[in-house]
Amino acid sequence: MKVDFAKLAAKLANISDCDVKTNQVLAPYTAYGIGGPTAVWVAPETEEGIGSVLETIYASGVPLFILGRGSNLLVADRGWQGVTLYVGENLSGWKIQDRDARVLAGTLLTDLITATVENGLGGMELMAGIPGGVGGALRMNAGAFGQEIESVTVSLRGFLFDASPFEASRKEIDFAYRCVPSLEQVVITSVHLRFNSENVAVLKERMNDILALRAKKQPLAYPSCGSVFKRPPGYYAGALIEEAGLKGEKIGGAKVSEKHAGFILNLGNAKAADVYALIRRIEDRVLQRFGVQLEREVKLIGEFE
């Protein structure tokens, strides 16, 4: 089906409080700093605006990509031939009352964790340093050191891709290890979180210890998507990659970190094709050497190969 993207962009521009562009390059909105243009870019500033945008997009039949803070994805060099719905800085912020927080999906997770710690609210402090937005964290049930966002979630709301309103409590959501199947077709707009009241100084110490540990063990000097692969049952992806002799392996401007082999770095001039080729090489080598099929944590957007 041939799509008149200019006509679709004009329709979306008629929706109030929406920033609409055509051929917007996605690289600046990804943690990797990699990615070609999207045919149409739309960034609503309200939850209601997202519903209106989804209604228009669904009626057009155009492929849709939801972009949050871009921390766990790799956008193809040719970009995305469809609509990118941005739910990032345009839809961020929170309100804290007692032990509860109402948070918009585009809020940076690190900003929220800092705010909750400063308010004496525990439950996410061990997740300090995890990149990305709150919506993305919910979509993948982000977590670290025994804490997951599931444990503080009360309920969330948003829209299905057909613009139908969506609301669910924690009990209705199938949170699992780094995946939440029931949210795969949901555009999350906001979440209600509930924390534990704890001593601010104790929480700050925990948070700072985690941040120091991340700085020591993780390669933070170059752009990356974080952990490229999920942890295989009974193994650690980084250890398997290192034992397969791939630490420091390079293709083009992409390199397996010598500090933590679970990370692939953009040395400054990497293309998506370089990163993808390195992902495939790692998968093949680890499978041949150990019989373990690594599962990707990074999401691929657009056409590869």
Is 297 catalytic? The answer is: yes
Whether the predicted pLDDT of 2 surpasses 90 = no
* List 99, 102, 178, 194, catalytic entry: 178
Q: What is the pLDDT of residues 7-46, one digit of tens each?
A: 999 999 999 889 999 999 999 999 999 999 999 999 999 9
* List 148, 242, 283, 297, catalytic entry: 297
Q: For the chain, what are the domain ranges?
A: 5-90, 92-216, 219-301
Whether 5-90 and 219-301 share one fold: the answer is: no
pLDDT of residue 275: 98
Neighbours of 134 (CB within 10 A): 30
Q: What is the mean pLDDT of residues 132-144?
A: 94
* List 52, 71, 227, 257, catalytic entry: 227
Say which CATH topology domain 219-301 has: 3.90.78
Q: What is the mean pLDDT of residues 275-296?
A: 97
Q: What is the pLDDT of residues 261-281, one digit of tens each?
A: 999 999 999 999 999 999 999
pLDDT of residue 1: 59
Is 178 catalytic? The answer is: yes
Whether the predicted pLDDT of 52 surpasses 80 = yes
Q: How confident is the model at residue 3 (pLDDT cuts 50, 70, 90)?
A: confident
Is 118 catalytic? The answer is: no
Q: What is the pLDDT of residues 165-214, one digit of tens each?
A: 999 999 999 999 888 999 999 999 999 999 999 999 999 999 999 999 99
Q: What is the pLDDT of residues 98-108, one digit of tens each?
A: 999 999 999 99
Long-range contacts of 276-282 (CB under 8 A, 24+ apart): 276/74, 276/300, 276/304, 276/305, 277/251, 277/252, 278/249, 278/250, 278/251, 278/254, 279/228, 281/246, 281/249, 281/251, 282/228, 282/229, 282/241, 282/244, 282/246, 282/249, 282/256
Top CATH class, 92-216: alpha beta
Top CATH class, 5-90: alpha beta
